[in-house]
């Protein structure tokens, strides 16, 4: 059980190292972004890619629009059919977990009592 404890410490340390590295990378990315920023105020209206004129109505109201609307309808249908099925199965899944949780907790506690913390060495196998 001591090995599991050391493993948990190692995992926690690795997690902290990854978190610190991500934080440093985030700060560096922000610093780079600020340095590259344009000083011209108001220029984003002319320079931003999302400000370009899009297709006109004649181009949009063709098969492209029909295809997009059809895909949206299919996605809506899939969600409308599968979500109630998920909701119907959810109560049984939760009840099953409640029953299983107690068995798992008892076996884990017994394992820790006998082998992990070796409480049985001092207190005996019956506690």
Q: What is the DSSP secondary-structure string of 23-68?
A: HHHHHHHHHHHHHH----TTTHHHH-GGGS----HHHHTTHHHHHH
Residue 19 is predicted with a pLDDT of 96
What percentage of the chain has pLDDT greater than the value 90? 27
Residue pair 27/33 in contact (Cβ under 8 Å)? The answer is no
What percentage of the chain has pLDDT greater than the value 70? 80
Higher-pLDDT residue of 38 and 94 is 94
Instruction: Give mean pLDDT, residues 95-111.
Output: 83
Domain ranges of the chain: 1-52, 57-127
Residue pair 115/1 in contact (Cβ under 8 Å)? The answer is yes
User: Which stretch of 7-11, 53-57, 78-82 has the lowest confidence by average pLDDT?
Assistant: 7-11
Please give the Cα distance from 118 to 11 (Å, whole number).
24
Structure tokens, 15:
């997690």
Q: How confident is the model at residue 90 (pLDDT cuts 50, 70, 90)?
A: confident
Tell me which DSSP letter residue 52 carries: S
> Positive or negative, the Cα torsion across 85, 90, 91, 92?
positive
Whole-prediction pTM: 0.36
Instruction: Give mean pLDDT, residues 21-49.
Output: 80
Residue 79 is predicted with a pLDDT of 96
């Amino acid at each position: 059980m001591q090995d599991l404890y050391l493993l948990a410490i190692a995992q926690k340390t690795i997690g902290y190292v990854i978190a610190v590295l991500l934080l440093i990378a985030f700060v560096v990315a922000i610093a780079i972004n600020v340095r590259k920023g344009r000083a011209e105020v108001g220029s984003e209206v002319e320079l931003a890619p999302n400000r370009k004129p899009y297709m006109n109505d004649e181009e949009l109201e063709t098969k492209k629009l029909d295809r997009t609307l059809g895909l949206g309808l299919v996605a809506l249908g899939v969600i409308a059919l599968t979500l109630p099925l998920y909701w119907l199965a959810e109560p049984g899944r939760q009840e099953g977990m409640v029953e299983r949780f107690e068995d798992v907790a008892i076996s884990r506690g017994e394992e820790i009592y006998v082998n992990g913390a070796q409480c049985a060495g001092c207190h005996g196998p019956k506690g």
